[in-house]
Structure 1
């Protein structure tokens, strides 16, 4: 069974996520029995699993080889940040919070600023290098509410809560420290990533109601198409500027399951401004998560296969 799962692009994440999402859609309380069962299978342990992955992947960052990551992922992530924040602010200034075509500014911002680090990790385990895999923790910053918080902090004239960013960076920094003090820690923790990826896929799926996702309808599909159009720039930069095969750039064409919760988080921070848009934004984001999680791994696989044929 595992060998069959591995044949699917990002299968170690995607397959358990889709199975658990189907279960959650029809039996949302199946694992809500408390204790270990709920934490392992019921979605309650997601943050702990993500934290463990950030730490383990951090041990794989070799500071002697950090130039590779800074040259490739660093450049792409800076562009992602600039494009996400810039386009979101432009969208708000032109269309206002209600947005256009049923895509409110909250939904647009969350989707356009997101990267699914779980899909990234699973794909890099198949097609990338150890250093590509180790950068997981940094890509994770685009799955939480940090960047959308910056957007709405700027647009509203309010401040920025840096705690979500710090909560991601601290375990990653600890992992980097352990991995560079003694490389044996790297060989101890890095092999745990595939198993943790499967658990994370399951936990993220067990919180996705597929019926609600498809109820987002046309608006959810449109915002996903816009997301893909914008994200082509990362493949172009990866191939034509950085001189790679474009596979890492293509992994940025994903929307994180964790980003679905961003609508509620921002709605609680700005209830009078964003409260009425939370439900629609969450549904449209969830639609984008499902679509990109299925389509993008195939794009990455084709880019990687094309490069292998050329070489």
Structure 2
């Protein structure tokens, strides 16, 4: 009964735990904050560990010959998301100045639109994509932080990018890939764990979300989230379909705002103090965008995947032909 309900919801195996985790975190955090294994597995404290395990298991299924495909797919998503976020933010800054328009500054726009939520992307690709789609998350981790925001704001000379950060992000995939290429039996054993961990990723992700941020961010935060999903997402999907020759589901999956993006305005202000007066307002708006996009994107991605196809779900027309 529970599984039937979950399967009716787009990406339900991630969305339902995510919503449940966010509600508990917002209204009853003491339930999962009692310590020990409960806190480790049912709060945001366990998000990195669960995702790391999922990436490791995914890595065992990747063959070395798949890497060019991974770099192409991930590169298109990464670059297109950066381009649209930077273009909108810079345009607002050039036309309206640092104060922005309707209470939304270029700092808030670029922070929200250029940063993607890797947890949501990975969970959705585990549901709809293939191994190459999932492995692209390692490349997309580059936009999870202040680096691209600083570049877009013209402060790239101040951004100190540590290569060890990238190595740490791709480490689980690399180790898994090495072991999987050495022993196919190991890959066959670990591959199913990637899907099994999806609800745990969803719950830990939700446990880092405070739904009241939608209210705190005000209408500007909601508009920022809608821009991230529909304006940013449409451009990314266009690039995914035209350049990548892909159905576009991965483009929607990356049309989110990362949880780490909430800290980006403050990080930018440290590099360029002229943005300091706008940090507080930008932070709550980005937080609102994080919540809204995490809720909207799974539904949009699921609808798109069913309508236009994906590796794990046949096109509606073809499915009907197969039944006939």
What's the TM-score, normalizing by structure 1? Answer: 0.85
Q: Tell me, yes or no, if structure 1 residue 155 matches structure 2 residue 155.
A: yes
Structure 2 residue aligned with 1:139: 140
Structure 2 residue aligned with 1:309: 316
How far apart in 2 are the matches of 1:212 and 1:302? 26
How far apart in 1 are the matches of 2:131 and 2:183? 17
Q: CA deviation at 1:149?
A: 4.7
Structure 1 residue aligned with 2:123: 122
Structure 1 residue aligned with 2:312: none
Output aligned runs, 1:190-205, within 5 Å: 190-205=191-206
- Label 1:156 to 1:138 Cα distance change in 2 as closer, same or farther (>3 A): closer
The one-character-per-residue Cα deviations of 1:161-195 (angstroms, maximum 9, x if unpaired) are 32433321333322332222323333233322233
| Pairwise CA RMSD | 2.8
Q: Tell me, yes or no, if structure 1 residue 240 matches structure 2 residue 219.
A: no
Q: CA deviation at 1:219?
A: 0.5
How far apart in 2 are the matches of 1:4 and 1:142? 34
How far apart in 2 are the matches of 1:2 and 1:118? 22
| Kept after mapping to 1: 8 A contact 2:32/2:43 | yes
Structure 1 residue aligned with 2:190: 189
| Kept after mapping to 2: 8 A contact 1:10/1:119 | no
- Label 1:94 to 1:305 Cα distance change in 2 as closer, same or farther (>3 A): same
| Kept after mapping to 2: 8 A contact 1:89/1:155 | no
How far apart in 2 are the matches of 1:108 and 1:310? 39
Structure 2 residue aligned with 1:103: 104
Higher deviation after alignment, 206-215 or 85-94: 85-94
Structure 2 residue aligned with 1:80: 81
Q: CA deviation at 1:202?
A: 1.5
Q: CA deviation at 1:210?
A: 1.1
- Label 1:47 to 1:125 Cα distance change in 2 as closer, same or farther (>3 A): closer
Gaps of 5+ in 1: none
How far apart in 2 are the matches of 1:279 and 1:52? 35
Q: CA deviation at 1:44?
A: 1.7
Higher deviation after alignment, 126-135 or 9-18: 126-135
Q: CA deviation at 1:234?
A: 1.8
How far apart in 1 are the matches of 2:265 and 2:184? 40
Structure 2 residue aligned with 1:54: 55
How far apart in 2 are the matches of 1:264 and 1:197? 31
| Kept after mapping to 1: 8 A contact 2:15/2:202 | yes
Output aligned runs, 1:257-296, within 5 Å: 257-266=259-268, 269-270=270-271, 272-296=273-297
How far apart in 2 are the matches of 1:274 and 1:166? 30
| Kept after mapping to 2: 8 A contact 1:58/1:135 | no
Structure 1 residue aligned with 2:216: 215
- Label 1:33 to 1:249 Cα distance change in 2 as closer, same or farther (>3 A): same
